[in-house]
A = this chain, B = another copy of it.
Amino acid sequence: MELPERAKLHAMTMKTRLLRDDDLRAVLAQKGIRVTEQRLALLRELAKLRLPVSHAELTERLASSGLDRATVYRNLLALTEAGLLVRTQLGDNVWRFELPRGETGEHGAHAHFVCTDCGDVACLADDAVVLKGLSARSTVSEVQLRGRCGTCVRPS
Contact = CB atoms under 8 A, between A and B. Distances in A.
Given A93-B94, A143-B145, A146-B140, A113 B128 contact: no
Interface string A111-140: 001011000001011011111111111111
A89 B51 CA distance: 20
Given A138-B113, A143-B144, A128 B131 contact: yes
Given A93-B95, A143-B144, A144-B143, A127 B138 contact: no
Interface of A: 89, 91, 93-95, 113, 115-116, 122, 124-125, 127-150, 153-154
5 contacts: A134-B145, A135-B149, A137-B149, A141-B148, A143-B146
Contacts of A132: 127-130
A100 to B, nearest CB: 17
Given A89-B91, A134-B113, A134-B124, A144 B141 contact: no
B144 A146 contact: yes
Contact of A147 (B116, B138, B146): B138
Given A93-B93, A130-B132, 8 more contacts: A93-B94, A124-B133, A125-B133, A127-B133, A129-B129, A139-B147, A140-B146, A143-B145
B131 A145 contact: yes
